[in-house]
Amino acid sequence: MWDSNRHVGFPTNREPVDFNKYCRTVENFPKKNISFKDITPLLLDPWAFNLAIRTMSWKYINQVDAIVCIEARGFLIGAPMAYELNCGLIPIRKKGKLPGKTCKATYELEYGTDTLEVHEDAIKSGQRILIVDDVLATGGTAQAVVNLVRELKGDVIGCCFLGELESLKGRAKLDVLVYSLIKFQGEDTK
């Protein structure tokens, strides 16, 4: 349950914050003609990072039993959100990284496929699940995770992202409510 006494210093009378200014674009990374949206400057700024996590978390107060976060950068966003919401945290890992029995989701990438796994006993039937990741791009990974949670009988209440690459239209591939704090503009971005 939400404990407002634990959360101090949340700005309530400030102008809206432009979180885009805490991110940067790195050209030709990880390969030529890609404009990479780098969130690490936001992570480096304690005030901006704290405010981003709290802003995203406040949308889901008393609505979430557990957060499912996607390896690897999703862990950076999902873990503090789970702390803020006082709920469980379920990591989705790449194939072969979890020690117990797992359920798998294989999905298409631009050049091939990839597989994600979750412990088969991590999600209980009817549990309200919020899926969290750093950036929404094409939506393939997020939809694979939605399907995986549903396979385990979890109730997906939505997907939450720190940022969204709007030009890639990943939101259209998701059949759940989507929230993103930062909207990145531009072509050929990741």
Domain of 89, CATH number, reads 3.40.50.2020
Position 103 in a domain:
yes
Contact 155, 135 (CB under 8 A): no
**Domain, as residue range, for 177:** 17-184
Domain count, the chain: 1
pLDDT values of the chain reduced to their tens digit, one per residue, 190 residues: 445 444 444 555 566 789 999 999 999 998 898 888 999 999 999 999 999 999 999 999 999 999 999 999 999 999 999 999 999 999 999 999 999 999 999 888 766 789 999 999 999 999 999 999 999 999 999 999 999 999 999 999 999 999 999 999 999 999 999 999 999 986 544 4
Position 3 in a domain:
no
Give every CB contact of residue 107 below 8 A, 6+ residues apart in sequence.
113, 114, 115, 116, 140, 141, 143, 144
Distance CA 119, CA 90 (A): 9
Tokens 């399907």 sit on residue? 147
pLDDT score recorded for residue 4: 47
Token couple for 115: 């597989």
pLDDT score recorded for residue 13: 52
pLDDT score recorded for residue 33: 87
Position 145 in a domain:
yes
**Strands in the chain per DSSP E:** 24-27, 35-38, 66-70, 88-94, 102-109, 112-119, 128-136, 155-165, 178-184
Token couple for 96: 């072969």
**Strands in 83-185 per DSSP E:** 88-94, 102-109, 112-119, 128-136, 155-165, 178-184
DSSP bridge pairs for 155: 128
Position 161 in a domain:
yes
Give every CB contact of residue 72 below 8 A, 6+ residues apart in sequence.
none
pLDDT score recorded for residue 122: 97
Position 189 in a domain:
no
pLDDT score recorded for residue 12: 55
Among 10, 11, 42, residue whose Cα is nearest residue 24: 42
Position 132 in a domain:
yes
Position 116 in a domain:
yes
Position 95 in a domain:
yes
Burial bucket for residue 150 (CB in 10 Å: 0-12, 13-18, 19+): middle
Residues annotated as catalytic are 73, 110
